[in-house]
Amino acid sequence: MTISLKLRAWIREARSLTVLTGAGISAESGIPTFRGKEGLWKTLRPEELANVEAFLKNPELVWEWYRFRREIVAKAVPNPGHAALAQLEACASDFTLVTQNVDGLHRRAGSRHVIELHGNILDDVCLHCGKKSTEASGGAGPVPRCACGGPLRPGVVWFGEALPAGAFEKAAEASARAELFLSVGTSAVVYPAASLPLVAREAGAYVVEINPERTELSSAVDETLIGKAGEILPALLAERRAAIPTA
């Protein structure tokens, strides 16, 4: 993989960096993506599993699906792509990581400031009182219950739901002030997250996409680096580190 001279200059010099990640960054940790070649939505129907109507209709089925995914997440470990982003954060004074992922792998890799736009799969939220608890999958029965008696649901954002309060606003602000914006491992079709690279470009950032395939975003960015996040991000980190003066 070659890094263009332009990108080399941006990665070395950008004072403000914002990164948007999607399911593709966790693919190399063994967590399946939703779209793309082997995406989950090829064989499963999001309308039966990922919205509140589906949950009200068949909470057992929805819990079965989330427990299955929690098991995959629990066994997964961060990969070199996650690690490179955590280390990149340490080399930049203004760095924001925005993720659509619910797997918590960025924090486990050491990223400190992470905006989780779609929540976290290990959280539970009571459908009645709204109280949040952490992984009550221990909770007995096919549908775990809150202390108030209400059914618990996974603490993720489903289709048609609002994002966590303030999360998108913070992400949009960071995108608008970024000098360099990286869109990593996302098919860039789910809004409002998919608008962030466009917000950044509109405000003058150099926008780079990292993905093994071209996406709907490709024609709107400055560069698409075709390849895996776990290979490209460590190379960008090395470039950034090479620009840090040694004492």
Contacting positions for ligand OAD (CB under 6 A): 22-25, 27-28, 33-36, 39, 46, 50, 100, 118, 156-157, 185-187, 190, 210-213, 215, 228-230
Residue 46 in tokens: 């999001």
- Active-site residue flag, 118: yes
Handedness of CA 3, 171, 192, 75 (dihedral sign): positive
How far is it, in rounded angstroms, from Cα 167 to Cα 88?
A: 21
Residue in the shown chain whose Cβ atom is closest to ligand OAD: 24
Closer by beta carbon to ligand OAD, 126 or else 188? 188
How far is it, in rounded angstroms, from Cα 82 to Cα 18?
A: 14
Catalytic residue among 82, 106, 113, 118: 118
Closer by beta carbon to ligand OAD, 82 or else 228? 228
Q: What's the min distance (Å) between Cβ of 180 and ligand OAD?
A: 18
Residue 191 in tokens: 């809004």
Q: What's the min distance (Å) between Cβ of 144 and ligand OAD?
A: 20
92-128 b/e (C-beta count within 10 Å ≥ 16 → b): eeebbbbbbbbbbbbbebebeebbbbbbbbbbbbbbe
Q: What's the min distance (Å) between Cβ of 117 and ligand OAD?
A: 8
Q: What's the min distance (Å) between Cβ of 113 and ligand OAD?
A: 19
Closer by beta carbon to ligand OAD, 34 or else 95? 34
Closer by beta carbon to ligand OAD, 151 or else 197? 197
CB 70 within 8 A of CB 122: yes
Residue 144: HSE in the Cβ half-sphere, 13 Å Cα cutoff:
23
How far is it, in rounded angstroms, from Cα 94 to Cα 18?
A: 8
Q: Which residues are catalytic?
A: 118
